[in-house]
Each structure stands twice: as structure tokens, then as C-alpha cells.
Amino acid sequence: MMPAHLKKFLDQKVEEYNRPSFIKDDPISIPHLFTDKQDIEIAGFFAAIFSWGNRTTIISKSKELMQRMDNSPSDFIKDHSAKDLKRLKGFKHRTFNEDDLFYFIESLHHHYSKYDSLESAFFSTGITDVEQALIYFRKYFFSLEHLKRTEKHISSPLQKSTCKRLNMFLRWMVRNDNKGVDFGLWKNAWASKLICPIDLHVARVSKKLGLLKRKQIDWIAAVELTDALCQLDKSDPVKYDFALFNLGIIEKF
């Protein structure tokens, strides 16, 4: 497909899927349950972290966690008691268990006791590059005493990971196109700097369209794909996540 035709095709797919009707069947539906900024951040963070496997299960487990937090994740994170934590015992999603959850609660509590937004956990002073933001976040998030096993739930480019789930979370928080899907809550990062979330489905579609040549699906592949998408729209390359993901999952392209 020639570049002009490819852009037209993908722009049409973005328009088709980047709309509120997309929300209910996607993990982004979880932060859309809330209106408070901190609730949106926390609900979105957990929904993104849980986003591997079947989307119905991801949404169900995310809703379960929100219900265990009395559907007030921000209040729970900031003001929970030891008794409140007992309500979380037994929670599990795939390899994410209650020990992991208790640490995530502790780390988020530590952060929100000092800052009003989770944005500063990624884009600390002077950081505007997403690769550096992800590296910084992982180090910062695990700065408290923790079980080594819990680290597997947060990746960074240093682990050569695609960081698909965190890149998706950043898309939700940063992109602001007034279409009603992404939130655009964070102002210290730009959509033009985001990295496209990539998994096997997105990689397959991207290779078929000539947007990705790298065989290994890792951080370098995520950057390569994003660079190719910048040729289509350098101000907002990650909007094409709507097209590539749904072409792979829904249309079996």
C-alpha cells in the first residue's frame, strides 16, 4: 500500500474506532467509570496493568478490584486502614496476586501522600522523553521494600520490553483529541512523544502494512513502529493504535 493510500486507510480506521462506542468493550472503560482525576489515574493504572489476555476478563477483574475499594480508588489508596486491606485478600488476576496488589497499594499511597497526580511519577522534573519516563517510573515505583516477584508487573525499556501496558496507560492519560475516549489529563507530556503500544496482534498488522520490519517484538520494535507512524502524523502517531489494534483483534486483518 502506498503511503498516501495507507494514511487514508488508517485515518478512516482511527475515525471508525476512536469514538465513545469503543469504550464499553475496552479496559479504558474502567477509568471512564470515574470523574475525579485521581480516581481516573488509579483506575486506569490498574486496568492497564491487568491488560493481558481476554478483554472481558480484564474488565471484570478491574471492576472487581474497584468494588473492593468501594468504588473510590483514590480515597482507598490515600486513607485505607489495615482492616480495609483485608477486603483485598485473595484478589488475583493471572500472575498478579494479593502480595503484588498490597505492594502496589503501598507504593501508590506513598506517591499520593506527596503529589496530587501520578503524572509526576513518570514525568518528573526535566523528563519529557517517554523512554526515560518509563525507566524512571519503574525505579521510582519499586523504591520501597518489596518482593522481587512483583517487579515483573512493571516493565521498562531497560528490560527490552515493549512496555505495551504502560504505553497504553500513557496514551489514555496524555492524548487529548476531544473524541471522548482518551482523557488528556496530563499536561507535561505531548502526544507527539508517545510510543505506540505493540503486542503480537498490532505487530502482525503492522508488518502486513509495511510499518514494521523487525522480527523481535521488543522496545526497539515499538520505537520502529512509532517512527513509521510519525511519517503519517508526526503530531499524534499513537492515534493509529486505534486502527492497528482493532484491525488485528476485531477485523482479523
Question: How many structural domains is the chain composed of?
Answer: 1
1 has a pLDDT exceeding 80: no
92 has a pLDDT exceeding 90: yes
Cell of 160: 527490552
Distance CA 160, CA 22 (A): 30
Domain that holds residue 58: 3-249
| % of the chain at pLDDT higher than 70 | 99
Distance CA 178, CA 195 (A): 20
Please report which confidence band the pLDDT of residue 125 belongs to, taking 50, 70 and 90 as the band edges: confident
Cell of 113: 501522600
The CA–CA distances, whole Å, from 142 to 57, 110, 117, 162, 244 equal: 27, 11, 18, 19, 32
Cα–Cα nearest to 192, from 234, 163, 229, 228: 234
The amino acid present at 203, given as its one-letter code, is A
Q: What is the pTM of this model?
A: 0.96
Cell of 34: 470515574
Q: What's the confidence (pLDDT) of residue 202?
A: 97
| % of the chain at pLDDT higher than 90 | 95
Q: What's the confidence (pLDDT) of residue 124?
A: 85
Q: What's the confidence (pLDDT) of residue 9?
A: 97
Residue-wise pLDDT for 146-191, tens only, equals: 999 999 999 999 999 999 999 999 999 999 999 999 999 999 899 9
Distance CA 84, CA 79 (A): 9
